[in-house]
Amino acid sequence: MTQYYERHLFFCTNERGADAERPSCNQCGSAALREYAKGRVKELGLSGQGRVRVNTSGCLDRCELGPVCVVYPEGIWYTYIDEQDVNEIIDSHLIRGIPVERLKLS
């Protein structure tokens, strides 16, 4: 059976609120960076069936390491800070298939 998408990129965009005991990824701007990634993937012609899908995710329960995203089918988790990091994940992992070691979470 073939996969519907070659790769699926999920961005945690959980928001717990300012008074929460734990941090949340959206406190670090994850929703805006997910939108950026989605636009960049479309701009590069990578989106669509059989290609790449960028999605919002609810809490992935790793917000203390966040913001976080995960690429499937490999199951590689990343943290990122800005558009430059997101570009590196797209260019290296999604296009060339080479994980970005410096942004990987274990």
Could you name the CATH architecture of 7-105?
3-Layer(aba) Sandwich (3.40)
Closest listed residue to residue 41, CA positions, set 98, 81, 84, 91: 91
Block means of pLDDT (10 residues each) for the chain, 106 residues, are 87 89 91 98 96 95 91 97 98 97 96
**Predicted structure pTM score:** 0.93
Q: Which DSSP string do the residues of 79-99 spell out, in sequence order?
A: E--SHHHHHHIIIIIIIT---
Listed by start position, the domains of the chain span: 7-105
CA 86 to chain centre: 8
